[in-house]
Chain A
Amino acid sequence: MDSTNYIVRFTLVMTVLASLILAGMFYATKPAADKNQVVFTKRAILAAVETRMDKKLKDISDDEVLTFFDENVEQVTLNMSGEVVDGVQAEKVDLAQEKKKPEADRLLPLFVFNGKDGKKYYIFSVRGNGLWDEIWGYIALEEDMNTVAGAAFDHKGETPGLGAEIKDNPSFPKQFLDKKIFNEKGELVSINVRKGGAQDPVHEVDAISGATITSVGVSEMMKRGLNYYKPYIEKNKATSMK
């Protein structure tokens, strides 16, 4: 049996050593990890307008993603009444954090992608709940703020092969292309993910079989998420009409 004194000294030395190693490692890897995080987010945003880009995203290197994003994407931060908020970078706005605030105080990120064709694409960020955990996505709209130019989804813990298909199966987000979020009366109806197959060719897409709850989650997320942007969309729609 070792004395208590020895045990205390041993554990002290050991924990100090371990914490020094970890602290050192943390600061040594921090710059690279932070850069990776930024590239990861920017890739996710650009994924929504991938169909409007010359190259596929996976063929672009990390550094190119950063410069491409800075050159072609404008960042706008909005408040809930659709006004532009200065001083906050849109990429710094985390919807997961915003969700915890009261609805009126939330901020919304908006990314405006200047396409090669001279058109602007508006990328909206949405977030909601799937079956097991959170799901989120980026929806790109054409200049008319009505037609979908692309969508990209991601999730935290949906079932592989079922709910996770919203991200893993490229044909799911592809369905959203050219759908419209406003109906003829000008109401924001968003895009519904329908179980059993889309019936309305303009506002509906097919659900994933076996992943009903995730599919409903996507519908719900689209509807609510886009409605947050509604004041901004309506204001800008009006100006672009003139």
Chain B
Amino acid sequence: MAETTVQTAPIKEKEPIWGKKERKLLVDPLNDDNPVTVQVLGICSALAVTTQVYPSIVMAISVTLVTGFSNLATSMVRSYIPKQVRMIVQLVIIATLVTVVELILKATVFPIWKQLSVFIGLIITNCIVMGRLEAYAMANKPWRSFLDGIGNGLGYGAILVMLSVIRELFGKGSLFAGSAIEMKIIGPTNEFWINTAAEGSWFGWYTSNGLMVLPASALFLIGIIIWIQRSMNPKLVDAS
């Protein structure tokens, strides 16, 4: 890890820290090259953890940190990694970072760590992380690799948050449940802003959609998001 400063110093002279390419690395995964909706990676955790917004945000931040720093670390040692054990080296880097993230979560947001439980550990097997190491970090310089990792993590996180907002709002009638800014929006008790059980309520017909809290709904929602994205983004239109 001591190499960090030694290695990045000469790069600053050759390439700009922030240029068109750097911007592209960070922004592309949000739309044109989204890891979830375009590359269709990381679906498993996207279905499992998105029932509520708060855990989804924690998950998104965790994955972003892991993709960013594993890209950075791999890129820094890329010329020293023996080709025969390439994959194992990448796995050790990812696993170390995931464990570090897990320990930090356990010490800071314990109830959320309990809720995410096994899915934090499973970041190790998230295809996005290793995919970026193989496809980008093994062949590019540390700073750009870092940006690529952060970009992909954010692209994954953006979909996670989108899914969880829809699922929590329509499934449970709340947003950010479990956090300090919990909002109860629509539901059948007077704790909610719109009380559907109140007499004369305009929303008396409304009931939360139970399907939304099940993983299957996330699959449909991802499908719909892909559909909307493809019809809006000309770059994604299939040439055939």
Contact = CB atoms under 8 A, between A and B. Distances in A.
B239 interface: no
Interface in B188-240: 210, 212-214
A29 interface: yes
Contact of A40 (B51, B89, B110): B110
Given A159-B214, A161-B210, A33 B51 contact: no
Interface string A1-22: 1100011001100110110011
Given A7-B82, A7-B85, A25-B99, 13 more contacts: A1-B83, A10-B80, A11-B88, A21-B1, A25-B103, A29-B106, A33-B106, A36-B107, A40-B110, A40-B114, A161-B51, A161-B213, A168-B172
A17 B1 contact: yes
Contacts of B80: 10
Contacts of B85: 7, 10-11
Nearest to A9: B82
Contacts of A11: 85, 88-89
A142 B172 CA distance: 33
- Majority secondary structure of chain B interface residues (helix, strand, loop or mixed): helix
B175 to A, nearest CB: 15
Interface string A154-165: 000001110000
B29 interface: no
Interface in B84-116: 84-85, 88-89, 92-93, 95-96, 99-100, 103-104, 106-108, 110-111, 114
Contacts of A160: 51, 213-214
B151 interface: no
A110 to B, nearest CB: 24
B106 A36 contact: yes
24 contacts: A1-B83, A2-B82, A7-B82, A10-B80, A10-B89, A11-B89, A14-B89, A18-B92, A18-B93, A22-B96, A22-B99, A25-B100, A25-B103, A29-B103, A29-B104, A29-B106, A32-B106, A32-B107, A32-B108, A33-B106, A33-B110, A36-B110, A39-B110, A40-B114
